[in-house]
Amino acid sequence: MFSFSRFTRPQALAVCALPVAALLAVTAFAPLPFAVAQPGSTANVLGEHEGKPVLTVSGVPTRRTSGELRMTTIVATGPQTDNYLGDVIDGWFRTDRAVMPKDSVYPVGDDVKEVEKHNLGDMKKSQDEATEAALRYLKANGVADTDKVRVKADLGKIGGPSAGLFLSLGIIDKLDGDGSGGDLTGGRKIAGTGTIEADGEVGPVGGVALKTQAARRDGASVFLVPEDECADAQAELPKGLRLVPITTLKGTVESLRALEKGGKVPSC
């Protein structure tokens, strides 16, 4: 039987430290199951992305818009990229990086084509629900001929559901603006994020602290954030960016109208 009683205290500590040191050495050179993310691109849904219109609305007359509605993204290390202890520690201590479990970023595994297919599938579903939510809202607010509206959305290879809210807002702005002849944006650069359900409910998306940085970098002064993610958005909020919490499409439009007219606007 092995006994530590044969060793002095310093000797015992040294013996205990050996397996810990070995474990740390192995960890330092072994890939870890984490992805490292950073602020990604933004895209104005009222304009073009990669040379193509993001939203093409047909079947009824549309309005000329001003201002911008910028959906935001994050960029994470790829599903087949290995991140090591140094990468993870660096990501933890940088304000423009976030460390996340790899399976939360790539739930379908590490096959690049499968990941891309999954993300684009999420985007297509999001586009359909965004269109339905916008048209339901417009019909409920007396806009005629919503049954004639056809919408095509094109964000290239940007995947996932987080552009849903902004696609809905873009459709509303192109067809009805603020409802009284003005722009939904009030001429501002409005950025943000959020999923959308067909009934107009807005859902959380994750990565908002990085998305606020992308928004401010690209000139936005207002950021629409799902209410449940206010605390995350405030964590690294860039100077000059105003947070507006949202829960529904209707409430979002009301907040943008109030912002345009100088009324009371919710805040985080």
State pLDDT tens for residues 154-167. Answer: 998 888 888 999 99
CA–CA separation, 163 and 70 (whole Å): 9
CA distances from 130 to 49, 85, 215 (A): 18, 40, 21
Which DSSP string do the residues of 94-127 spell out, in sequence order?
-TT-EEEEHHHH-TT-S-HHHHHHHHHHHHHHHH
| Residue 123 confidence (pLDDT) | 84
Residues 28, 31, 36, CA angle at the centre, nearest 5°?
A: 100
**pLDDT at position 239:** 96
The whole-number mean pLDDT for each consecutive block of 10 residues of the chain, a chain of 268 residues, reads: 47 46 51 92 96 97 97 92 87 89 80 77 90 98 97 91 96 97 96 97 95 98 97 95 98 97 94
> For the chain, what is the radius of gyration of the CA atoms?
24
Structure tokens that stand for 126 in this block: 């999001």
> What CA–CA distance (Å, rounded) separates 255 from 263?
9
pLDDT of residue 25: 47
Instruction: Check if the beta carbon of residue 256 is closer than 8 Å to that of residue 232.
Output: no
CA distances to 5, 6, 12 from 2, rounded to whole Å, are 9, 9, 12
pLDDT recorded at residue 8 = 52
What pLDDT does 29 receive?
60
Instruction: Report the relative pairing of strands 52-53 and 150-153 from DSSP bridges.
Output: unpaired
pLDDT at position 169? 98
Count CB atoms within 10 A of the CB of residue 59.
Answer: 12
Residue 33 and residue 103: Cα distance in Å, rounded? Answer: 8
At 6 the pLDDT is 53
Q: Report pTM.
A: 0.86
Pairing of strands 222-226, 242-246: parallel
| Cβ 225 vs Cβ 113: under 8 Å | no
pLDDT in tens, 72-110: 999 999 888 888 888 888 888 898 999 988 887 788 777
